[in-house]
Amino acid sequence: MKIGLLFPGQGSQFIGMGKDFYENSNKAKEMFEEASDAIKVDFKKLMFEENEDINKTEFTQPAILLFSAIAYELFKENIDFEYSYSLGHSLGEFSALYSAGALNLSEAIKLVHNRGKLMNEAFKDKVGSMMVVLGLDDEVVEEVCKNSNLQVWPANYNSDGQIVIAGIKEDLEKLEPLLKEKGAKRVMLLNMSVASHCPLLESATKPLRELLEEYLKDEFLDVVSNVTAKKYNTKKEALELLPIQLTKPVLYKQSIKNYEDEVEKFVEFGGKVLMGINRKITKKKTIPIVDMKSLEKAISEVK
């Protein structure tokens, strides 16, 4: 079966993620150890025990990537499937690069850990956040942001009627009544201190490019870019796309629509968030893998 590989981004983390894999798979244990060695962080403690670090972006990003990578490796070692492309949402694009062979696990963990640090550094003197808006057309949200004279931008095009805005937290709060006046069904500020995929992260793009130059392989399997909603498979392309991915909106629904005809099903590794979004975009089924039971189910559905 030809499948599209999907990888979720920040916001999909939870305490206990990966624990079932760890307790039932030697491969998972090895990957936990490799990730822990890579950045000198105890990933078992980070992902299994209540703590504040799990929601800090420099730790959230490698934790989610590790969870996704384990789900992918356990799936891959148990079944033969025809790879079509990998697609990640925001941070998930780096998990997708791992699955495509652009990075090994240690490199990917180091990369996203440092990416998180760079994003935090960009917000050391300001408070950012993100806000989900339901029930408005993209064009309406874009127009409200543009005409507001506030530091706010469309950041994630998730599905028709669901868009996420990024910007200065205070400005997002001011934008909320303007969106409701336009008929938004719901406007909800997210619990985040960094505004992803907007110009406020410009300072992080150059140092991220330097890290990518160090870690990326020259060629890899097809990955769909968040920036263009098109496939790429070379280091040269990645060096242009991944730094500006920090400052440009995630074209998720456009990516799914562009390539849904190439696959029979989607498999989401390490989450269920994209499965929920996909129900509003495509008729193609999305199968999530979050533990051993769902892994077995996914394997049986793809055979």
Question: Is 90 tagged catalytic?
Answer: yes
Pick the catalytic residue: 84, 86, 197, 225?
197
Q: Is position 89 annotated as part of the catalytic site?
A: no
**From 90, 99, 159, 255, active-site residue:** 90
User: How would DSSP label each residue in the chain?
Assistant: -EEEEEE--TT---TTTTHHHHHH-HHHHHHHHHHHHHHT--HHHHHHS--SGGGSHHHHHHHHHHHHHHHHHHHHTT---EEEEEEESTTHHHHHHHHTTSS-HHHHHHHHHHHHHHHHHHTTTS-EEEEEEESS-HHHHHHHHHHTTSSEEEEEEEETTEEEEEEEHHHHHHHHHHHHHTT-SEEEE-S-SS--SSGGGGGGHHHHHHHHHHH--SEEEEEE-TTTSSEEEEHHHHHHHHHHHTTS-B-HHHHHHHHGGG-SEEEEES-SHHHHHHTTT-SS-EEEESSHHHHHHHHHHH-
For tokens 């492309």, name the residue.
85
Task: Say if CB 3 and CB 302 are below 8 A apart.
Answer: yes
Catalytic residues: 90, 197
